[in-house]
């Protein structure tokens, strides 16, 4: 059986309820949600409302209407960054993904907070990066390279103390770390639907604490206030221009229901244990260097000494599915010291079992001996 260890990219396998929901809603519920009052449209809208309610429960958000669905976390992050930006300075971190770094690079006025060799960002360094005109602080909840989880609650506090908004990139943590929007006090939370939440590809979303702080980035038809040329400022219509992916969103709602039933914390704990056990197995191999901290998601980054990460992936061949290279996070690789080689990332997900650790460690042991 295929040893799939690329869950940080996407969860290739989904719970049965997700396949059932996707199939059923594609077949019977593919009308345009919120466009007209005919039954198929209302049924499609129901799927979206249910998914909003599920996401609000998962993130402990008061108002399900403040959750909009997007194609993925990249769209959500762009909607958040470009929609919240009204001039001024932005703070992001070295562990952030290109879906944060590229949009802020286009805006121009930003500071990158350094991380240490284990991929940890320190709140004091975030505070030091703040300038008098800082309007937005962004931090990935966990690194997609080595899995390190960041102290985002403290970082949110610092942002607020200086009058800035805090945007949490939860692409790597939604579904495997407990995320309490109120406790973290995030202004914006961007998430992927297709990774840890185990929803279909082409799904993601954005939670917005205060919609008045956001402008729409893409405007168009919403099925509401159609007599006006002005795009609605209310959620979720503000962030739902055009026809939404109703079967995908309904299936994401089913996936989130599954996560709530099993508990994001419990899922994350199992994945962390597998990742930390693999970390230890790899540390015991004299030819292998492992990166990252034990306070992590299911991702482990490593290299076989003297080999580029792509060469290691070639040696692994078809025996396991992992990802080599730079993982769209070039600055994170600089932080952990792999900017010349990249790294191999093995990432555990819900459907992995503890025996997969030994299976993969054996593959790497043999690969490390040529």
Ligand X SMILES: Cc1ncc(COP(=O)(O)O)c(C=O)c1O
For ligand X, the binding residues (CB under 6 A) are: 72-74, 97, 99, 140, 144, 169, 171-172, 192, 204
What is the Cβ-side half-sphere exposure of residue 59, based on CA atoms within 13 angstroms?
Answer: 32
Look at the block and give the residue holding tokens 């899995």.
147
Q: What angle do CA 300, 304, 307 make, to 5 degrees?
A: 125
The residues that bridge with 343 in the sheet, in sequence order, are: 325
Q: β-strand 288-291 against 323-325: which pairing, if any?
A: unpaired
Residue 29, both tokens: 């519920």
Which CB sits closer to ligand X, 34 or 350? Answer: 350
In terms of CB distance, is 231 or 333 closer to ligand X?
Answer: 333
* Torsion sign (Cα): 300, 156, 240, 57: positive
Give the active site residue among 139, 146, 176, 328: 328
Q: State in angstroms the smallest separation of the CB of 74 from ligand X.
A: 3
Nearer to ligand X, 150 or 368 (CB): 150
Residues with Cβ within 8 Å of 221's Cβ and at least 6 positions away in sequence, in order, are 241, 242
Annotation says 146 is catalytic: no
- For ligand X, the closer of residues 344 and 363 by Cβ is 344
CB of 147 to ligand X, least distance (A): 10
CB of 38 to ligand X, least distance (A): 32
Which residue has the closest beta carbon to ligand X?
144
Minimum separation from the CB atom of position 31 to ligand X (A): 26
Cα–Cα distance for residue pair 167/66, rounded to 1 Å: 15
- Least distance (Å) from ligand X to the CB of residue 346? 15
Alpha carbon distance 323, 305 (integer Å) = 17
Strand partners of residue 112: 92
CB closer to ligand X, 221 vs 241: 241
**Which tokens in the block code for residue 266?**
């419990």
Residue positions annotated with a catalytic role: 328
């Amino acid at each position: 059986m295929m040893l799939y260890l690329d869950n940080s990219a996407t969860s290739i396998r989904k719970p049965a309820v997700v396949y059932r929901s996707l199939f059923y809603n594609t077949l019977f519920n593919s009308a345009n949600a919120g466009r007209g009052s005919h039954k198929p449209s209302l049924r499609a809208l129901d799927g979206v409302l249910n998914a909003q309610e599920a996401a609000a429960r998962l993130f402990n958000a008061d108002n399900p209407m403040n959750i909009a669905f997007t194609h993925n976390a990249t769209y959500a992050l762009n909607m958040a960054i470009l929609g919240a930006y009204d001039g001024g300075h932005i703070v992001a971190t070295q562990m952030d993904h290109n879906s944060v770094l590229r949009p802020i690079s286009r805006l121009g006025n930003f500071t990158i907070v350094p991380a240490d060799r284990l991929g940890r960002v320190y709140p004091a360094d975030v505070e030091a990066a703040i300038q008098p005109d800082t309007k937005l602080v962004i931090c990935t909840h966990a690194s997609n390279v080595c899995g390190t989880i960041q102290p985002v609650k403290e970082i949110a506090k610092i942002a607020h103390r200086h009058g800035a908004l805090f945007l949490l990139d939860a692409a790597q943590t939604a579904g495997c770390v407990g995320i309490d929007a109120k406790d973290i006090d995030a202004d914006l939370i961007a998430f992927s639907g297709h990774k840890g939440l185990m929803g279909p590809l082409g799904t993601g979303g954005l939670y917005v604490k205060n919609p008045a702080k956001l402008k729409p980035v893409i405007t168009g038809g919403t099925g509401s206030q159609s007599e006006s040329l002005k795009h609605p400022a209310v959620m979720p219509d503000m962030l739902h221009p055009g026809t939404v992916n109703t079967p995908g969103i309904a299936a994401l709602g089913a996936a989130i229901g599954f996560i709530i039933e099993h508990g994001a914390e419990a899922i994350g704990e199992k994945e962390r244990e597998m990742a930390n056990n693999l970390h230890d197995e790899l540390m015991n191999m004299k030819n292998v260097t492992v990166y990252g901290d034990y306070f992590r998601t299911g991702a482990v980054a490593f290299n076989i000494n003297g080999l580029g990460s792509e060469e290691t992936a070639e040696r692994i061949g078809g025996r396991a599915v992992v990802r080599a290279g730079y993982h769209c996070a070039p600055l994170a690789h600089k932080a952990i010291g792999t900017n010349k080689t990249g790294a191999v990332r093995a990432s555990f997900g819900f459907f992995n079992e503890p025996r997969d650790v030994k299976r993969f460690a054996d593959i790497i042991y043999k690969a490390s001996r040529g």
